[in-house]
A and B are shown apart, each in its own frame.
Chain A
Amino acid sequence: MQQFVNTLINGASLGSIYSLMALAMILVWRSTRVVNFAQAGQAVLSTYVGLEIHRITHSYPLTLIIAIIFGALFGALVDLLLVRPLMHRVGDGPIAAVAPVIVTLGLLSAIQGFVGLIWGGEYRSFPAALSQNGFKVGLTRIPFSPFDLFILFTTLLVMLAFAYIFQRSGLGLAMRAAAFEPEVARLAGVRVARVRTIGWAFAGGAGALAGALITPTTLLAPNSLDLLLVFGFTAAVLGGLESLVGGVVGGFLLGIGLALVVTYLGSSFTFITAFVVLIAVLLLRPRGLIGQRSVRNA
């Protein structure tokens, strides 16, 4: 019983990170109709920037905040310099349907290469906010640490902030309108392109936070976040790729599910499980577990 509860809490902590990554991918997908595979690269880059900040200042809060801000700025830049011009150009070219996906992939390759070029390929450790040793309950040490609590707390805070922005603020309304029906939103006075860029910035920030939170456990290397990308995508698909709430639920479900698999079947089944879940959801419920009625075939 004790083990089961521990697994659940641990899964929730991991799942919250997957949720963040899923949120990043969903934000971009909703606004631009592109699944941004470069998200892993952007997160790796901001995490390395965070590492440099920590080397200089030795301050964790500063590290985390600058990494997030850098991630957001970089996300906005990717949209401004790459995606926006591309959407204009490729419009109806010979490989219009696959071009955006291929470009984000090219960006992923370029960023990972660049990061390796600057910082080398060896694994590095990344600071955690709080101790990663588990809490003591009585005499036994449970595998749930203060840092896990910090992860849960931070991600929940971010999700609440997103919820507030999207449901209560004018900007959130504009973003929802631009995602729902760009043409009509434009007629109603929403500056769709600018709102999109803000969406990319939010996504970049969320991805950067996910990277900074998972890296103390996985260590940092140019391709260390590939698995996070896959799990984030799986979580986003679980939630239907359209809804932010769906992405959060998908992330927690995936995190807890994978933690249960690791505890009761062994860690070698993690990936197979995720892959089977991904395929099963796509084939059986393409609109996601809690998705809306209609599904776009884009």
Chain B
Amino acid sequence: MRERFALNWLRIPSGMRRALLLVLVGWGLLLISDRISEFRVYQGASVATYFVAIVSIVLLTGYSGQVSLGHGALLAIGGYSAALVMQNLHWPFWIAFFAAVFVAALVGALLGVAAARLSGPYLAGTTLAFAVGLPSLANQFSFLGGEQGLPFDIGVAPSRFGENFSPYKWLFWISALFALFAVWLAANLLRGRYGRIWRAVRSDETAAALSGVNVARSKVLAFTVSAGFAGLAGALLCATVSLVTPGGFPLSLSFAILTGAVIGGVRSLVGAVIGAFTLVILPMVADAIAQGASDAVSTNLPAVLTGVLLIATIVISPGGIAESLSHLGRKIALRRQKRI
């Protein structure tokens, strides 16, 4: 069926096709950002941020089969590195984003070396400990700004974008651009050699090793790449609030990211999009339910919903929404074939 799809896009090479598709999506997003309210634009930036974070889980858990309960800590490392680079070196913000990716990937590589030797529950517990403890470190080093944290301001749009180009729209454009870049990178990576290697290791370590795959190295690499994505997400997250604080990376953030990945489908980039939207919509749903209720209800309902959704997904459809949809699509296609 894919063969017939417009003569394979007029025979454009697949890598190029993906890039073209993303440019089109980006164009669409820019057009949309002009048509919707400021608040929705801001939420769009959140979706892009969560998306990058979830992609990092998809790479790690979905493809390499390793669990991390502590990705919030890697986001924190990304956020702090970006803020430090901006504050001390006064480089432009986009270099700060790459610094975030680099530092987080470096820490990820170190963690990955340990992680490659740990299995399931041990790795989960270690990463959980990492996430519980790391933010508190910020209080102990004065150059990290303590509880108040550090400012991280990506500024306003250059004047050539026009007078009424709002800061939110600027934030959204940047987040969307980085998110598209991230998905392009991830899609190429997963379709390529390393995606294959990761899948091989995930389904059977011994068989992969016998086929000449260096299992340990592939796991460390997966952790490193995943941490890089997490670092980028952390910098984006801090850009949305113009601030990096230890309180900005609670354990619930790590849980939320994992929930988004599981709900969407931990093995698919489409699932990551679904998951990112879910994470932004969930608090709105909670607000709607908790209307008129006390503060305690409205602040804690999202956590309850997150937990319940996470459990429900695992019990009802462990592959997440994306996999359920593709099952459904296959069923419909089969039925059609039968009719012909």
Of A42-50, A219-227, A251-259, the one contacting chain B is A219-227
Given A113-B306, A274-B129; A103-B318 close (CB under 8 Å): no
Q: Please name the residue on chain A nearest to B318 by beta carbon.
A: A93
Q: Please name the residue on chain B nearest to A296 by beta carbon.
A: B119
For B118, list chain A residues within 8 Å (CB).
Answer: 282
Of B16-24, B91-99, B188-196, B308-316, the one contacting chain A is B308-316
User: Is there an interface contact between A114 and B304, defined as CB atoms closer than 8 Å?
Assistant: yes
Contact bitstring B306-340, A, C-beta under 8 A = 1, else 0: 11111100110011000100000000000000000
Q: Which of B125, B130, B314 contacts A237 (CB 8 A)?
A: B125
Task: Tell me, yes or no, whether A5 is within 8 Å of chain B by CB.
Answer: no
Contact bitstring A32-61, B, C-beta under 8 A = 1, else 0: 001101000000000000000000000000
User: Is there an interface contact between A226 and B304, defined as CB atoms closer than 8 Å?
Assistant: no
Chain B interface category by residue count: 35 or more
Interface residues of A in 154-204 (CB under 8 A from B): none
Of B47-55, B131-139, B160-168, B236-244, the one contacting chain A is B131-139
Task: Tell me, yes or no, whether B61 is within 8 Å of chain A by CB.
Answer: yes
User: Is there an interface contact between A274 and B133, defined as CB atoms closer than 8 Å?
Assistant: yes
- The complex places the Cα of A229 from the Cα of B125 at a distance, in Å, of 9
Task: Tell me, yes or no, whether A233 is within 8 Å of chain B by CB.
Answer: yes
For B267, list chain A residues within 8 Å (CB).
Answer: 94
Chain A interface category by residue count: 35 or more
Task: Tell me, yes or no, whether A230 is within 8 Å of chain B by CB.
Answer: yes
User: Is there an interface contact between B126 and A279, defined as CB atoms closer than 8 Å?
Assistant: yes
Given A34-B121, A89-B315; A111-B307 close (CB under 8 Å): yes
- The complex places the Cα of A94 from the Cα of B295 at a distance, in Å, of 39
User: Is there an interface contact between B124 and A101, defined as CB atoms closer than 8 Å?
Assistant: yes
Most buried by A among B267, B304, B306, B323: B304
User: Is there an interface contact between A86 and B117, defined as CB atoms closer than 8 Å?
Assistant: no
Q: Which of B65, B250, B262, B304 contacts A102 (CB 8 A)?
A: B262
For A107, list chain B residues within 8 Å (CB).
Answer: 307, 311
User: Is there an interface contact between B310 and A105, defined as CB atoms closer than 8 Å?
Assistant: yes
Given A97-B120, A121-B300, A274-B129; A102-B307 close (CB under 8 Å): no
- B236 → chain A closest CB, angstroms: 23
For B124, list chain A residues within 8 Å (CB).
Answer: 35, 37, 98, 101
Task: Tell me, yes or no, whether A120 is within 8 Å of chain B by CB.
Answer: yes
Interface residues of B in 156-201 (CB under 8 A from A): none
User: Is there an interface contact between A110 and B67, defined as CB atoms closer than 8 Å?
Assistant: no
User: Is there an interface contact between A103 and B133, defined as CB atoms closer than 8 Å?
Assistant: no
Q: Please name the residue on chain A nearest to B141 by beta carbon.
A: A268
User: Is there an interface contact between B314 and A94, defined as CB atoms closer than 8 Å?
Assistant: no
User: Is there an interface contact between A103 and B310, defined as CB atoms closer than 8 Å?
Assistant: yes
- The complex places the Cα of A98 from the Cα of B310 at a distance, in Å, of 13
Task: Tell me, yes or no, whether A298 is within 8 Å of chain B by CB.
Answer: yes
User: Is there an interface contact between B319 and A94, defined as CB atoms closer than 8 Å?
Assistant: yes
User: Is there an interface contact between A268 and B140, defined as CB atoms closer than 8 Å?
Assistant: yes
Given A99-B314, A113-B302, A234-B129; A226-B69 close (CB under 8 Å): no
Q: Which B residues form the contact surface with A (CB < 8 A)? A: 61, 65, 67, 69, 114, 117-122, 124-126, 128-130, 132-133, 136-137, 139-140, 250-252, 255, 258-259, 262, 266-267, 295-297, 299-311, 314-315, 318-319, 323
- Beyond contacts A102-B67, A226-B251, A230-B128: 12 other A-B pairs, Cβ-Cβ < 8 A, are A93-B319, A107-B307, A109-B303, A109-B307, A112-B252, A113-B301, A119-B296, A230-B132, A237-B125, A271-B133, A275-B130, A282-B114
> Can you list 10 contacts pairing A with B, beta carbon distance less than 8 Å?
A94-B323, A102-B258, A103-B314, A105-B258, A109-B255, A230-B132, A237-B122, A241-B121, A268-B139, A279-B114
Q: Which A residues form the contact surface with B (CB < 8 A)? A: 29, 34-35, 37, 82, 85-86, 89-90, 93-99, 101-103, 105-121, 222-223, 226-227, 229-230, 233-234, 237, 241, 268, 271-272, 274-275, 278-279, 282-283, 286, 297-298
